[in-house]
Amino acid sequence: MEDVPERWPVAQSDVRLKQWLITVRSDQVQMPDNQSAERTVVTHPGAVAILALDDADRVLMIRQYRHPVGYLLWEIPAGLRDVDGEPLVATARRELLEETGYRARQWHALVDTFTSPGFTSERVRIFLARGLESAGDTGYEREHEEKFLTTGWVPLAEAARLALAGKLHNGETVAGVLAGYVASSQGFSGLRPADAPEE
């Protein structure tokens, strides 16, 4: 049992909004019975997220204000796929360094998700990063809202408990923590390489 690509015909598509990050369009999708259904689609460039574990299996997390939901959320580091042609693992390395000041020696693909496939094309590759090292003074300074980020460490088992208790709400964080907990219980065997293609 696995997901497979498929594309139903679109009879008409009208762009409703276009801005720097997203485009919103209305599609008339032709279904297999030749009836049509209107679907609102939010196109998004996608993102990467990083479950970064230290040698004691603690998760490196950031706390960030998220205006649309009105919460301060504990999250794993993440960032947009906003550099054309950049390999996803390179994006992840850059985001981990920029948001936390850490680098990792070992990288694996952990899990791939569509964040909300009922209305957006956003796709996220979540990486497992291990062998963490502080980058020291990287010369990078957080700007804009990122200067308000704080970092913290939580044991992986505790992060999984918090996710199941409804105390963590960021989707990539919940998926990454739970997938990482399962991977840890299996000795991190069988993980895909960091450059594995997205299916």
Q: Given the structure tokens 């999708």, which residue do they identify?
A: 29
Q: Which residues contact 50 (CB under 8 A, 6 or more apart)?
A: 76, 77, 78, 92, 95, 96, 104, 126, 127, 128, 129, 176
The dihedral sign for the CA sequence 61, 64, 68, 70: positive
Is 146 labeled as catalytic in the residue annotation?
Answer: yes
Neighbours of 25 (CB within 10 A): 16
Among 8, 52, 44, smallest CA distance to 154 is for 52
121: tokens are 């094309």
Active site residue: 146, 158, 172, 198, which one? 146
Alpha carbon distance 172, 113 (integer Å): 8
Asked if 84 and 109 touch (Cβ cutoff 8 Å), the reply is no
H or E element in which residue 175 lies = helix 171-185
Residues serving a catalytic function are 146
